[in-house]
Structure 1
Amino acid sequence: MPMHLLVRLDNFLGKIIGARFYTDDENNARDTAGHGSHTASTAAGNLVKQASFFGVAEGNARGAVPLSRIAVYKACSPNGCRSDGILSAFDDAISDGVDILSVSLGSRTTLKLEEDAVAIGSFHAMQHGILTSNSAGNNGPSQATTASIAPWLFSVAASTTDRRIIDKVLLGDNTTLMGSAVNGFDLKGRKFPLISGIQAMEKSCSITDGQNCIEACLIPSKIEGKMLMCENTTTPYVALSLSATGAIMSDIAQSPSDEPRMSILPTSLLNLKDGASPDITAPGVNILAAWSTSVPPTNEPQDSRSVKYNIISGTSMSCPHVSGAAAYVKTFHPDWSPSAIKSALMTTAVPMNASSVKAEFAYGTGFINPMKAINPGLIYDASEDDYIKMLCSMGYTSNTIKLIAGKNSSCSPNYKGTAMDLNYPSLTMHNSIEAKYTRTVTNVGVANSTYRATVTSPSYVIVNVEPKVLSFKSLNEKQSFLVTVSLTNPPGEVLLASASLVWLDGIHSVRSPIVVY
């Protein structure tokens, strides 16, 4: 289950400097699910040599910022996460003086901001200069599947790395199929009979039931000691229940993926679905990290194995990567605001292939590059007042804003702005043929510097920037510019188009994605 974690940049001797819990059913702060150990070590784990999962992915492993310390705030248990526990954890973390909050938990659906404990807690953290990194959710890339939407949060999608864990399936005719799975089993070259669900099904069942290995339709005596193959990703559970030796899954309804399946049995997956969600993306697939030794590596009840490390995937895994990157940037710029750190990581991210159907809505501004983020050149800063104005422009009343901000904040009746006026490092035009955006950048690079605007866009998306040149004479100097985005003669029905604005001074490249939707 998720653990509420945070990174603190101190020089204490111990890695974990404190732990609190907010659960009724588990009255201690220990990790009883493994998830918390995994995310914590990803953010701030010490260097460990020859770490592996039963020999898989063996090598040196360490967290993003191994010299930092961790304080643990356990707000969740196997029964879920209560809002009052999450808010109490935020309050205590803020009171304890943490530097970065890493929150690998959240709702499965998008909540109203005034009802979302993570959005409320992270707003309070922002008020105290603390950036909150949060998992974007694992339901993407379908439309409106990101639960982490508050702009003061750093919402993190999960992406693959240069590692792919594969398992070959060698058939009796020496045909080799490339499968995907995390297996810690040594079959010592033995071969096992292969049986499909159709071959093992009761005559009274349908072909579809046999293909999907519906357990009630299978004859156990035909499966025992064999490799069971089904067109369903639940195959390992059925195979285990019916005493099969292993499982091969071929989920033809899903697209191929780099995310492997783990099971208590030898398993290989020939087809998988992909998943992603926005703001920025970080490694979240095939992540090897620490695991609680009191928790088996899978959720299967028959699994009695104990491991120090486990390989799992999801935005829970990518979130602590960004938390660590944010902590790294903060060590160089301890006085930067949460939005400044977020801007630095977003504008220096490596652009990703926009051929994806959902493009930036799937992966945000790109793949994090912490080394570049410590010297971004320009930053888009935003204050608490800026977020209040955004909420006012969205129709929030003083009463609902108080639920989020924790204090009285009135909306000026003369304010005519929109949510698009928030000084954010990205631009989105939705259901319109023209939109204007005012943005302000702060010079954090070289005192005397000149930046020129460069625009990349499809021919039917016109992006105009005024002024096209920004000249700075000192550090921390602010300058504003106007961006006009218009749509003209699109080819057919355009659902989504990607463009970008990059400010260049010969040293720095400050990139903002522009999405027309």
Structure 2
Amino acid sequence: MAKAGLHVLLFPLLLTALLQSCHGQERKVHIIYMGERPQGDFSLASTHHSMLEGVLGSISSAKESLVYSYGRSFNGFAAKLTDEEVGKLSEMEGVISVFPNHKLKLHTTRSWDFVNLPAGSGKVGGTQGDVIIGLLDTGIWPESESFSDEGLSSPPSKWKGKCIGANFTCNNKIIGARYYNSDNSFDSTDFKSPRDSEGHGTHTSSTAAGREVAGASYFGLAEGTARGGVPSARIAMYKVCWSSGSCSSADVLAAYDDAIADGVDIISVSLGFGSFLQYLEDPIAIGSFHAMRKGILTSASAGNSGPYPFTINNYAPWIVTVAASTIDRKFVAQVVLGNGQVYTGLSINSFNLYGKSFPLIWGGDAANYSAGADTEISKFCSLGTLNSYEVLGKIVLCEFLDDGTGVLLANGVGTIMADSSIKDFAFNYPLPATVISTEDGLRVLDYIRSTEKPIATILVGEIWKDVMAPYVVSFSSRGPNPITPDILKPDLTAPGVDILAAWSPVAPPSIAFEDTRSVNYNIISGTSMSCPHVSGAAAYIKAAHPNWSPAAIKSALMTTASNVDPKKHEDLEFAYGSGQINPLRAVDPGLVYDASEADYIDFLCRQGYNTTTLKLITGDNSSFCTTTVPGRAWSLNYPSFSVAVEDGLPIRAVFSRTVTNVGPPNSTYTLSWYMPPSINVVVEPSVLSFSATGEKKSFTVKVYGPSIAQRPITSGAIIWNQGVLHMVRSPLVVYTVLPGSSLPFSSSSKKKANFKRSSMYHKNGIFGHK
């Protein structure tokens, strides 16, 4: 998982003066969102300058204020504004919303075999080389073997992108690359180009579409053939994240504006926010909506804030939201004490001490008193708290999970960290290290206390079989959906733990900045790693079915997903959604739950947005809301079913769904379903017969039952079966919430949508009857 932080801007005195209003208010970057791009081949920059001139008073001030003019794929701009100027702009005709330039954070081989997509399985029809995956990330290392263009033809004729930046060359694999930095703030390690100094973007790109590279490993660990899901697909990199770890809303929207117009087929976004945002102040929701209108699916990471509920990111229904799960291997490193006792911990430990034992010391006995540390502080081994004289040449027992730099810079040989909070994934460290349980840590401490000259060694890392896999890792963010509880999120889970993929050779390979080693392949974990697995799987389906809509591709992935054992997850579908991706099955799903732009417009209407707003979003005067009262989202043709019930109220829900036959003609599907006995489900009709491919059939699902007091989640499934040929499975979840705690509407549907968490400026009349 990647490091995070905020950019700090240092302005020259003259620029600082220019950025102050007459009232002394500092101008900050805001995004002005205006919906769909007007028809016609012209630049919108003059319109945006004119709007700013009307607020700022002069064209020179307008040009100084403007950061981005979005106009290739949708209409809007980013500008430096005071709060007063924001208020004036938000009232202008054609403005949908004005919101601050939020900071997003990154959500940081064998995995493709584990999800049943072995090497060479891409020859299923269609042309993978025509599929273009666009990634919004930290950049890419173009010289990596994973991005060789050997044997690849010229880019597809539809491609309109560019390769921008010094000291960076594209090829027939990486066919486009751009970079964005609205803050104009760079660290000394940053490249002012799409080149990757962090490793994250190189890793995600190669996971989605890297070429096959034999003998790839991390210092000999996990050696094998590294490859992406679609090795012959093309890559377009849009660098929006920098070495500080943050990525700005303005840059993300600029990247979406370009990616859509450039002609990508799939957009992969391994980043998100740490807080809830409404759909029209979320740059990923806005960008992915306009991408969806052009037939482009966005795959986005769920976030790394688990295992707590309501932590999910990227929850818009037109996005496929991806959780992270394990594969059938885990990295361990054992500690051997001088008395022969062996303790097993988690670590991707590439350092080999060759069995040599070293003196062992507890961090609490090596306090750096001159720096103000004492035993209660130094036992955690944080940077600067250890006495280097006491630690020199020793292995240190620490009572906290850290990056190891405290011991490294105090000249220690290695570290044993005792922390039970990490049980299902491993880090790599800049020195020999392992993480054992708190209980085992106490046993090691007892050995130190009872032995005159305690010694230990840390063995080089090993790979053990994880018989419990797959299960959703603890850090993966959980649902339910904080904005629209009737839409189940996450949608899917995919491998995101201990993933080997390409890396930037100038980026530290471990979680410590001080690690000066260089690697071409690295092993890291995060929903950032699971997201490109789904991006690759989506590209795999796109190659086989180039005319399928984003919703159809998403449906195919969800309804064919492999079941995840519910006994391993107390939060059930809030952890794994429909299950783990199964790309081979997804190519032939039998039926799909398709959804058009009109379906999502109807969804937004039911979220409380009015006709005037939606006409601006679509650029279509025929867009119309049939209802002005916010209500349930059960009519959206979604491949899963979610019922949120206020505590103490009976269960009453009616869903309407339509499935499209994408299998052979003359197909008949019969219904099966399961739920706990206390909840009743009625599906009508119970048999769907199709005479042609492309034919549609509709059905209703009624869910009812008595109140279920404060039950976190109850789940089952609705399944359409075509004998042994197809099984189209959709999860059905019912859960209770405290009145008013998460529902954006009351049980009577008379209350407007709750936007208390929003810091967005809305144009008057965005909700209601206009």
Question: TM-score normalized by structure 2?
Answer: 0.64
The 5-angstrom pairing of residues 93-108 of structure 1 reads 93-108=259-274
- Structure 2 CA distance for aligned equivalents of residues 343 and 47 of structure 1: 28
Residue 718 of structure 2 corresponds to which residue in structure 1?
Answer: 501
Q: Deviations over 1:306-349 (max 9, x none)?
A: 11001000011111110000000111111100000000000000
**AA of the residue aligned to 1:422:** L
Which whole-Å deviations, capped at 9, do the CAs of 1:90-144 have from their partners, x for residues lacking one? 1111111111111112222221111111111100100000001111111122111
Secondary structure of the 1:419 match is coil
Relative to structure 1, the CA distance from residue 431 to residue 351 in structure 2 (aligned partners, 3 Å threshold; closer, same or farther) is: same
Provide the rounded CA distance (Å) in 1 between the counterparts of 2:560 and 2:509: 36
Question: How many angstroms apart in 2 are the aligned matches of 1:302 and 1:414?
Answer: 57
Q: 1:313 to 1:402 in 2, by over 3 A?
A: farther
- Give the corresponding residue for 1:327: 539
Q: Using a 3 Å threshold, how does the CA distance of structure 1 residues 190 and 381 change in structure 2: closer, same or farther?
A: same
Cα deviation digits, residues 42-65 of structure 1 (max 9, x gap): 001000011000001111110010
- Out of 222, 225, 234, the residue aligned to residue 69 of structure 1 is 234
Question: Within 1, Cα distance between the matches of 2:250 and 2:304?
Answer: 24
Say if 2:608 and 2:630, in contact at 8 Å, map to a contact too: no
Distance 2:433 2:562 in 1: 35
Letter in 2 for 1:453: L
Contact kept in structure 2, 1:106 and 1:147, CA below 8 Å: yes
2:53: which partner in 1?
Answer: none
2:585 is the alignment partner of 1:372: yes
After superposition, what is the alpha-carbon deviation per residue over 1:1-41, rounded to whole angstroms, capped at 9, x for unaligned? 7561699xx84372111111112335311111111100000
Contact 2:303 2:313 in 1 (8 A): yes
Determine the structure 1 residue equivalent to 2:337.
171
**Distance apart, 1:228 and its partner CA:** 1.2
Identical positions, percent = 49
* 8 Å CA contact 2:720, 2:729 repeated in 1: yes
Q: Any residues of structure 2 matched to 1:169-248 within 5 Å, and which?
A: 169-201=335-367, 208-214=376-382, 218-234=386-402, 236-248=404-416
CA distance in 1, matches of 2:437, 2:679: 37
Q: Tell me if 1:344 matches 2:556.
A: yes
Q: Distance in 2 between matches of 1:228 and 1:267?
A: 9
Aligned to 2:136: 4
Give the structure with higher Rg (CA): 2
Answer whether contact 2:334 2:344 (CA < 8 A) is retained. Answer: yes
CA distance in 2, matches of 1:36, 1:312: 12
Is 1:279 aligned to 2:279, yes or no? no
Q: 1:126 aligns with which of 280, 283, 292?
A: 292
Conserved? CA contact 1:131–1:153, under 8 Å: yes
Is 1:354 the counterpart of 2:554? The answer is no
Q: Name the counterpart of 1:470.
A: 688
1:52 alignment partner AA: S
User: Is residue 2:675 matched to residue 1:457?
Assistant: yes
* RMSD, aligned CA: 2.4
Q: Mean Cα displacement is larger for which, 444-453 or 101-110?
A: 101-110
Structure 2 unaligned residues grouped into runs of 5+:
3-105, 107-134, 140-146, 155-170, 439-472, 478-489, 736-770
Corresponding residue for 2:67?
Answer: none
- Counterpart in 1 of 2:469? none
Three-state SS of the structure 2 residue aligned to 1:430 is: strand
Cα distance, 1:110–1:512 mapped onto 2, change above 3 Å: same
**Equivalent position SS for 1:164:** strand
Contact 1:280 / 1:366 at 8 angstroms: preserved in 2? yes
1:45 to 198, 201, 210: 210
The answer (yes or no) to whether the contact 1:11–1:68 under 8 Å persists in 2 is no
Hey, what does 1:306 align to over in structure 2? 518
Aligned length: 513
Shift in Å, 1:459: 1.7
Map of 1:145 onto structure 2: 311
Q: Distance in 2 between matches of 1:235 and 1:67?
A: 37
In the TM superposition, 1:278-297 aligns within 5 A as 278-297=490-509
Farther off after superposition, 317-326 or 79-88: 79-88
C-alpha displacement of 1:431: 1.4
> Residues 217-240 of structure 1, C-alpha deviation per residue, up to 9 Å, x if partnerless?
543322221111122111612212
What is the CA distance between 1:177 and its match in structure 2? Answer: 1.3
Matched, 1:385 2:598: yes
Q: Which secondary structure state, in structure 1, belongs to the residue aligned with residue 397 of structure 2? A: strand
1:403 Cα deviation after fit = 7.3
Match for residue 417 of structure 2 among 226, 229, 249 = 249
Amino acid at match of 1:339: A
| Range moving further from structure 2, 232-241 or 288-297 | 232-241
Instruction: Tell me the equivalent position of 2:120.
Output: none
Structure 1 CA distance for aligned equivalents of residues 413 and 513 of structure 2:
17
Task: For 1:27 and 1:220, locate their aligned partners in 2 and report how far apart those are by CA, in whole Å.
Answer: 38
Q: Which amino acid aligns with 1:225?
A: G
Residue 161 (structure 1) shift: 0.5
SS in 1 for 2:365: coil
Aligned partner of 2:396: which letter? L
**Is the CA contact 1:114–1:403 (under 8 Å) kept in the aligned structure 2?**
no
Q: Equivalent residue of 2:177, what SS? A: strand
Q: 1:51 to 1:486 in 2, by over 3 A?
A: same
Query: Amino acid of the residue matched to residue 515 of structure 2?
Result: D
Seen in structure 2, the aligned counterparts of structure 1 residues 479 and 217 have a Cα distance that, compared at 3 Å, is same
Residues 655 and 700 in structure 2, CA contact (< 8 A), matched pair in contact too: yes
Amino acid at match of 1:240: L
d(CA) in 2 for partners of 1:425 and 1:378?
Answer: 10
Instruction: Assess if the C-alpha contact under 8 Å between 2:605 and 2:630 holds in 1.
Output: no
Paired residues of 2:608 and 2:628 also in contact (CA < 8 A): no
Tell me the SS of whatever aligns to 1:77: coil
